[in-house]
Amino acid sequence: MRKRREELRVKREESFPTEVVLFPLYSTLCTPFLIVALILLAAGCDVTAPDRTDTYGFRLQPENVVFNWPLERRPVRYFAQAIGALPEYVRDGLTIWEAQLLYGEFEGVLTTDSAGADIRVVLEGGVPPVSPLISAPAVQACTGSTSATLASATKLAGPMLIQVRWFPGFTPADVVNCISRVTRHEIGHSLGLFQHSSNPADLMYGVPSVREPSTRDRSTVQVLYHTAANLTPADRP
């Protein structure tokens, strides 16, 4: 009986030698798997790009010209007056605007060299109170402006100037929230968003009450940076 079992075992091993088992194993495992995987990965799919039709105007009026920072000027240099947390707010503002663009269209950096800056940011009204930024309804405890001089119809004369002025009589939190928010708004202008949105939900609304760019802000700055500019920045000193 034992001998018979032994014979059967040997016969079974002889009928399934390793080589014979392994070849079908590779092809059985790998071929269908790879075919399915290739089809799944290579198959076309519906990649939907975002809708960017909801935008607002960005042309400088009444000249009706378009300005954006050309690629060769990256990174655009911002000088922020060392007062309060202004440099930090400028850095934050650059980061949030850069993040609206996917393809490296804009990059800004802080510089300590005011003479070599493309944009100068100053804070007026003295040293602001110290307070952390908080989530609170927007209070108009400050104002801001962005200005530039035209050297010609197609070229700026010098660096842009961003001025933010804060007002006394408000809580420290309201003041710093306002400075941060308005700095972000003005940086939006310095990118070339030369008009205001008509929607209060946008950061580029005339009197901004939000701190983050909206979808409309994002779509608008993306369209701006893919529109041919006919106004160029001043040469660097």
Partner 1 sequence: MIGLFGRSNSASAQTRIAIRAGATGSSALVRDSIIQAFSVRPEIGPSIGFGIETGLDTRYRVGVSLSTTWGHLRRYEAAGSAEVVPLSTWTPAVSLYRILFPSISAGATVGAVIYRADRRASNLFRRGSSPMPLVGLGVRAERPMTNGLRLSLSLQYDVHRFSTPALADAGFSGERPVHRLSASVGVSRGL
| Contacts with partner 1, residue ranges (CB under 8 A) | 18-19, 22-23, 25-26, 30, 34, 37-38, 41-52, 71, 94-95, 98-99, 101-107, 215, 218, 222-223, 225-227
Residues in the chain: 237
CB of 51 to partner 1, least distance (A): 7
Measure CA of the first residue to CA of the last residue in the chain; give whole Å: 102
d(CA 109, CA 121): 13
Nearer to partner 1, 145 or 226 (CB): 226
Closest CB to partner 1 among 74 and 155? 74
DSSP 8-state class, residue 201: T
Identity at 96, one-letter amino acid code: I
Q: Is 71 exposed, middle or buried (0-12, 13-18, 19+ CB in 10 A)?
A: exposed
State the minimum distance, in angstroms, from the CB of residue 106 to partner 1. 6
Helix (H) or strand (E) holding 146: strand 142-147
CB of 1 to partner 1, least distance (A): 33
- Backbone φ and ψ of 32, nearest 5°: -65, -40
Whichever of 71 and 136 has its CB closer to partner 1, that residue is 71
Kindly tell me which of 10 and 29 has the beta carbon lying closer to partner 1. 29
SS3 (DSSP) at 4: helix
- Least separation in angstroms between residue 118's CB and partner 1 is 16
Token pair recorded at residue 228: 């041919």
Cβ nearer to partner 1, comparing 35 with 151:
35
User: Minimum CB separation from partner 1 for residue 7, in Å?
Assistant: 26
